Structure 1
Amino acid sequence: MNKNTYTIVIIYLLMMLIGIIENVKGPIILSIKTFYSVDYTMMGLFLSVGSLGFILSTFFGGFLTEKIGRKLVLLSGLLLILLGIIGISMAPNFILFLLFAFIMNMGMGSVEIGINAIAALVFIMNQAIMMNLLHFFYGVGAIISPNITVKLLHFNFTWQLVYLSVAALAFILILATLAIKIQEGQHIIKEKINYGEILGNKRMWLFAIMLGFYVASELGVGNWAVTFLREWYKMDNTISSLYLSIFFATFTLGRLFGGFIVEKVGYLRSLSVSSLCAAVFIAIGMLSKSLALFNFYFRFFYSIIFPTVIATIMKEFKKHVSAIIGITVTIASTINMFANFLIGKLNDLFGVFVGFSAILVFMIVVVFMSLILSQTIKKEVSE
């Protein structure tokens, strides 16, 4: 196996790890709520604090990949994940739990920036296909995570032991990451990055806002779907987690085949069509319990959005791509942070149906932003 092939395999596995960590929360969020005797607003705060950690790491991660190299950013992120998970599992009170959730998400942000930065280096041809395959492994992790979590709970694992099981996997991947070889010296950029120019770019803001509401909608389903099904439709934990797994299964199929569709249809058109279809399926799925499964089939349309946005950024921006991706993901994560808190607050004030409805609103915003972005880019090209 040559060094590029090994590197690609490792970043695919790391993306699977991110999928596992992100989606452990869904089946155990009620257990955490009960353990610390907090309300839904505090659970929304937990998700928002995690988003804040992700925000800070993606902001500095994009800068650091340009300065110290991709591999070091990746390894530092994995160490933060390990520290955060261990801390979460042992936190005696909710304040410390939030602190270690912050650290864990800082690690995930660093790992994601490192993965995307390495992908920009090793994915030379068919970037949409390669990026969708990369995020296909996120879907694999997302399918595995809720199923295994429920099984572990049935074997009388506490939610803390579930997290520690994930920590063991993270440790193994740290050892595997140590062996990747990247010629950092040829790619570390010494030229000063003009952040004012990047922040003044209209396209960057359109990408960031669209990505932010997409992430808020995607993670909103992962974080709150099981709670919604259990509280609103009175489903048991096994069935609701199965529905969530179906959601991620359709997502994974989309990631597996979506890149080929995007290359054929076009990046911008694919973003507009897929986000519209996702919004329609969410709306149908919320009409009744018998249609609830539609909430989880739309993941096929969700699946291509994130990797296609990143691939489009790679095509649209020729300089300082790592920094631009870092800033874009930072802004997107800021939007997601407030969105998660909003869903938790709406759950407490008006019930889980209204809270979950916010996810539909977020996706409608994505539809409009994709149309505006498409028109903006076409206009700039024509000029």
Structure 2
Amino acid sequence: MKLGTGYITKNKLYIMQLVTIFSGFIIFGISENIKGPAIPRIQFDFNLNEEQLGSLLSLNALGYLIACSFTAILVRKWGIKATSIMSFASMLLSGVFIFLSHTYPLFAGSYFLMYIGNGMLEIALAILGARIFVKNVGTMMNLSHFFYGISSTVAPLLATGVMSIQVFGHTLDWRGMYLVMLSLSLLPILSALYSKFPGDDLPLESRTPFKELTRDPALWWMVLILSFGVVSELAVGGWLVNFLEKAYHWDTVKASGLLSIFFLLFSVGRLVLGPVTDKIGFTLSLIIFSGFSAVCTFIAIAGGERWSFLFAASGLGIAMIYPTVMAFIAKRYPRGSDTAITFTVTLMGLGSVIGNYLIGFVIETVKKIYGEATQIGLLRGLQAGYAFIGLCALLCTLCSFILYRYLKRRGELI
């Protein structure tokens, strides 16, 4: 029995769409996580102090948020295909400019361009997923984000290796590393060029208006769920090693090993547990997985050093929040997913900035209460700061439960 030409063409198109979105998440993970090994070298080359370095990273975070806010406008004006290619191209161009930057202003501008591309890419990939995945949405969203998790895990190792490569007798160092790694954006650019994506032909009058979206309480609960979930997710990468080294006197290798296990379980969770979200429903999944993460975190803190493995185990739960929220939005707002995603992710970004600031504030405040210069003060401060990470996961669970009751009363559970 021969398959029709239309079926084969449709199948090839879907494969190209998958290549674009999966490779896009790989680029996204790489671009966000190759900076770790490069930062000390950048700081040395440009003679930056800690305050200047912090200002550079803060400016880039601002660029990320700015890009998140205008990407939906570009999608409506030029379509998701053109916008996706633009986001990948900006990543590629930033790699070229970083390679050529031998003055600080040029480097700062190039780095800012990379984060503009990062912000555009986050929104574009979420919109692509919402439009492409019409069946098994939870499974496919989590599978997409699995590629982000894997590339995030290996990115620092790849960056370290590439920086030591010699080409024609010259070491690539951090500039060459950025050029090489960001040049991988060519793959999703090519696959996007030879593909097309649904939704761009939807008439403007058929799209759900922004005002109508913002009047839906479910969307606001999603903003809170995503904000608390992402703060809890990202804070682990920033604070776990610090906590283990200072609270339990672990060496860097051992502490980093536990963080690696967290990211491994984080990636495994997205690969394996995606079908569970489709089976039991997105809202119930958010309650269960964020609650699991919160419980693991609190037990790890209360149980002391011997229960530290639960810090890593929390990754299984918290990994599911972001892709499950994206799957929920794709299902609930099929004619306004691009606007809903942009609105949610932008506010989430603001919430994440505030949340990570509060972790540091809590640590310093509790240290002063117990004695800033004492070991017990340091321990209690670190425990309180990490408890705030667990509290964010718990608040994510609470908001998910409230949303569950709201949707169940209206017969709108997803």
Task: Pick the TM interval, shorter chain.
Answer: 0.7 to 0.9
Contact 1:132–1:308 (Cα < 8 Å) also in 2: yes
Which moves more between the two structures, 299-308 or 214-223?
214-223
Aligned amino acid, residue 139 of structure 2:
I
Residue 365 of structure 1, CA deviation: 1.9
Question: Which has the higher Rg, Structure 1 or Structure 2?
Answer: 2
Counterpart among 368, 393, 397 of residue 363 in structure 1:
393
Distance between the aligned counterparts of 1:231 and 1:25, measured in 2? Answer: 24
The letter of the residue matching 1:332 is: M
1:5 equivalenced with 2:35 (yes/no): no
Q: Indicate how the Cα distance of structure 1 residues 347 and 120 shifts in structure 2: closer, same or farther if over 3 A, else same.
A: same
The answer for the alignment partner of 1:15 in structure 2 is 25
Q: Which residue of 2 aligns with 1:37?
A: 49
> Which residue matches 1:221?
236
Question: 1:294/1:147 Cα in 2 relative to 1: closer, same or farther (>3 Å)?
Answer: farther
Q: Which moved more, 1:147-156 or 1:178-187?
A: 147-156
Q: Deviations 1:54-112 (Å, cap 9, x if unpaired)?
A: 3222222123222211011112212333344556674755x876655443222122112
Equivalent position amino acid for 1:380 in 2:
R
The answer (yes or no) to whether the contact 1:47–1:340 under 8 Å persists in 2 is no
Structure 1 counterpart of 2:118, which letter? Answer: M
1:330 Cα offset (Å): 1.0
Does residue 174 in structure 1 map to residue 189 in structure 2?
yes
SS at match of 2:403: helix
Give the corresponding residue for 2:84: 74
Q: Distance in 1 between matches of 2:387 and 2:102?
A: 32
Q: Say which SS state the counterpart of residue 186 (structure 1) adopts.
A: coil
Structure 1: which amino acid aligns with 2:130? Answer: A
Deviation digits for residues 295-330 of structure 1 (CA, Å, limit 9, x no counterpart): 222111112211111111222224312111111111
Cα distance in structure 2, aligned partners of 1:154 and 1:146? 13
Cα shift at 1:118: 1.9
- CA displacement at 1:374 relative to structure 2: 1.1
Greater CA drift, 352-361 or 193-202: 352-361
Greater mean deviation of Cα atoms: 311-320 or 236-245? 236-245
- Closer/same/farther in 2, CA of residues 297 and 59 from structure 1, 3 Å limit: same
Partner Cα separation in structure 2 for residue 92 and residue 226 of structure 1 = 33
CA 1:345–1:29: 2 relative to 1, 3 Å: farther
Alpha-carbon distance, 1:204 to partner: 0.9
Kindly indicate whether the alpha-carbon contact (under 8 Å) linking 2:59 and 2:112 is maintained by their aligned counterparts in 1.
Answer: yes
Letter in 1 for 2:75: T
Which of these residues, 256, 266, 271, is aligned with residue 281 of structure 2? 266
Distance 1:167 1:343, change over 3 A: farther
State the alpha-carbon separation in 2 of the partners of residues 160 and 213 from structure 1.
35
Instruction: Confirm or deny that 1:336 pairs with 2:352.
Output: yes
- The superposition leaves residues 197-230 of structure 1 with CA deviations (integer Å, 9 ceiling, x where unpaired) of 2222211111011101211221222344344445
Residues 141-197 of structure 1, C-alpha deviation per residue, up to 9 Å, x if partnerless? 122123434556788985555544422323444344333333665246355763222
Structure 2 residues without counterparts, runs of 5 or longer? 1-10, 166-170, 368-377
- Do structure 1's residue 128 and structure 2's residue 143 form an aligned pair? no
Residue aligned with 1:381, SS: coil
- Does residue 1:103 correspond to 2:116, yes or no? no
Select the structure with the greater relative contact order (CA < 8 A; seq sep ≥ 6): 1
Indicate which of 402, 405, 408 corresponds to 1:372.
Answer: 402
Structure 1, 29-38 or 121-130: larger mean CA deviation: 29-38
Equivalent position of 1:254 in the other structure: 269
Q: 1:234: Cα distance to partner?
A: 4.8
Structure 1 vs Structure 2 CA RMSD = 3.4
Residues 146 and 245, structure 1, Cα contact 8 Å, conserved in 2: no
Measured in 1, the distance between the counterparts of 2:397 and 2:389 equals 13
1:284 paired to 2:299 = yes
Contact 2:31 2:182 (C-alpha < 8 Å) held by counterparts: no
Question: Alpha-carbon deviation of 1:31?
Answer: 6.5
**So what's the TM-score if we normalise by structure 2?**
0.79
CA apart distance, 1:274: 0.5
CA contact (8 A) 2:143 2:274 kept: yes
Structure 1 counterpart of 2:84, one-letter code: L
Q: Does residue 381 in structure 1 map to residue 396 in structure 2?
A: no
Do the aligned partners of 2:16 and 2:192 also contact (CA within 8 Å) in 1?
no
Which of 319, 326, 345 matches 1:303? 319
